[in-house]
Chains A and B, each alone.
Chain A
Amino acid sequence: MSDLNTAMTERYRNSFLMEVEANVEEGEWVKMCMQCGVCAGSCPLGNAWEHTPQKLFMMIRAGKREAVLSSDAMWMCTSCYNCIARCPRGLPITHIMHGLAHYAKRLGLVPKNQPTQQFSQIFWDNLMKKGRVNELKLGLSMYFKDGFGQGIKNAMANKQLGQNMMKAKRMNAMEFFGGHGIKDTSGLQKMIKKAQEIEDAKYQGNS
Chain B
Amino acid sequence: MTEVIATNQTILVVGGGISGLTAALEAAETGKQVVLVEKRPYVGGRVTQLYKYFPKLCYPTCGLEINQRRAKMNPNLTILTMAEVTDIQGEAGNYTASVKISPRYVNDNCTGCGDCAKAVSAEFDDEYNYGLGKRKGAYLPHRMAHPQRYVIDPAILGTEDAEKAKTACKAGAVDLDMQEETVSFKAGAVVWATGWQPYDANKIQPYGYDRFQNVITNVEFERMADPNGPTGGKIVRPSDGEVAKNIAFIQCAGSRDKNHLLHCSRICCMATLKQTHYVQEALGDEGKSTIYYIDIRAIDRFEDFYQTVRENPNVSFIKSKVASITQNRENSNPVLNGVDTEGYHRYANEHDLVVLAVGMQPSVDKSSFPVDIVINEEGFIEPATENGGIFAAGCSSDALDVNRAVQQATGAALRAIQVVNRVAGTEG
Question: When the two chains form the complex, which single residue of A35, A41, A55 contacts B322, counting CB atoms closer than 8 Å?
Answer: A41
Contacts of B169 in A (CB 8 A): none
How many A-B residue pairs have C-beta atoms within 8 angstroms? Tell me: 59
Interchain CB contact under 8 A, A88 and B259: yes
> Which of A37, A42, A55, A86 has the most B CB atoms < 10 Å from its CB?
A37
Chain A 83-125 interface 0/1 with B at a Cβ cutoff of 8 Å (1 = within)? 0011111100000000000000000000000000000000000
Interchain CB contact under 8 A, B206 and A42: yes
Chain B residue nearest in CB terms to A90: B258
Contacts of A55 in B (CB 8 A): 344
A207 to B206, CA, bound (A): 43
Chain A 53-91 interface 0/1 with B at a Cβ cutoff of 8 Å (1 = within)? 011000000000000000000000000000001111110
* A142 interface residue (CB < 8 Å to B): no
Contacts of A87 in B (CB 8 A): 258
* B200 interface residue (CB < 8 Å to A): no
Contacts of A90 in B (CB 8 A): 258
With A40-B339, A86-B206 as contacts: A52 and B259 at CB distance below 8 Å: no
Chain A residue nearest in CB terms to B339: A40
Contacts of A35 in B (CB 8 A): 294, 341
Question: When the two chains form the complex, which single residue of B323, B341, B346 contacts A86, counting CB atoms closer than 8 Å?
Answer: B323
Chain A residue nearest in CB terms to B293: A36
Question: When the two chains form the complex, which single residue of A36, A51, A52 contacts B321, counting CB atoms closer than 8 Å?
Answer: A36
* B340 interface residue (CB < 8 Å to A): yes
Contacts of A47 in B (CB 8 A): 346
Contacts of A41 in B (CB 8 A): 320-324, 337-339, 346
A56 to B186, CA, bound (A): 62
Interchain CB contact under 8 A, B258 and A88: yes
Interchain CB contact under 8 A, A40 and B259: no
User: How many residues of B sit at the interface, in one of the four size bands?
Assistant: 20 to 34
A90 to B252, CA, bound (A): 15
Interchain CB contact under 8 A, A37 and B340: yes
A35 to B260, CA, bound (A): 18
* A161 interface residue (CB < 8 Å to B): no
Interchain CB contact under 8 A, A37 and B256: no
Contacts of A182 in B (CB 8 A): none
With A34-B294, A36-B294, A38-B338 as contacts: A88 and B321 at CB distance below 8 Å: yes
* A178 interface residue (CB < 8 Å to B): no
A52 to B206, CA, bound (A): 19
* B242 interface residue (CB < 8 Å to A): no
A34 to B321, CA, bound (A): 10
Interchain CB contact under 8 A, A52 and B323: no
Contacts of A34 in B (CB 8 A): 256, 294
Contacts of B338 in A (CB 8 A): 37-38, 40-41
* B257 interface residue (CB < 8 Å to A): yes
A90 to B259, CA, bound (A): 8
A41 to B325, CA, bound (A): 11
Question: When the two chains form the complex, which single residue of B206, B341, B346 contacts A36, counting CB atoms closer than 8 Å?
Answer: B341
Rounded to whole Å, the gap between the CB of A13 and the closest CB of chain B is 27
Within 8 A of A (CB), among B244-299: 252, 256-260, 294
Rounded to whole Å, the gap between the CB of B102 and the closest CB of chain A is 39
Contacts of A86 in B (CB 8 A): 206, 259, 323
Interchain CB contact under 8 A, B346 and A54: no
Chain B residue nearest in CB terms to A51: B344
Question: When the two chains form the complex, which single residue of B206, B322, B344, B346 contacts A46, counting CB atoms closer than 8 Å?
Answer: B346
Interchain CB contact under 8 A, B324 and A40: no
Within 8 A of B (CB), among A16-50: 34-38, 40-42, 46-47
Chain B residue nearest in CB terms to A40: B339
Rounded to whole Å, the gap between the CB of A71 and the closest CB of chain B is 14
Chain A residue nearest in CB terms to B256: A88
With A41-B337, A41-B338, A42-B206 as contacts: A52 and B257 at CB distance below 8 Å: no
Rounded to whole Å, the gap between the CB of A67 and the closest CB of chain B is 13
A37 to B260, CA, bound (A): 17
Question: When the two chains form the complex, which single residue of A36, A42, A54, A89 contacts B324, counting CB atoms closer than 8 Å?
Answer: A42
- Known contacts A37-B321, A40-B339, A88-B258; 10 additional CB pairs below 8 A are A36-B294, A36-B321, A38-B321, A41-B322, A46-B346, A54-B341, A86-B259, A88-B252, A88-B259, A88-B260
What are some 20 contacts across the A-B interface (CB < 8 A)?
A34-B294, A35-B294, A36-B341, A37-B320, A37-B339, A37-B340, A40-B339, A41-B321, A41-B323, A41-B337, A41-B339, A41-B346, A51-B344, A52-B344, A54-B344, A85-B259, A86-B259, A87-B258, A88-B258, A88-B260
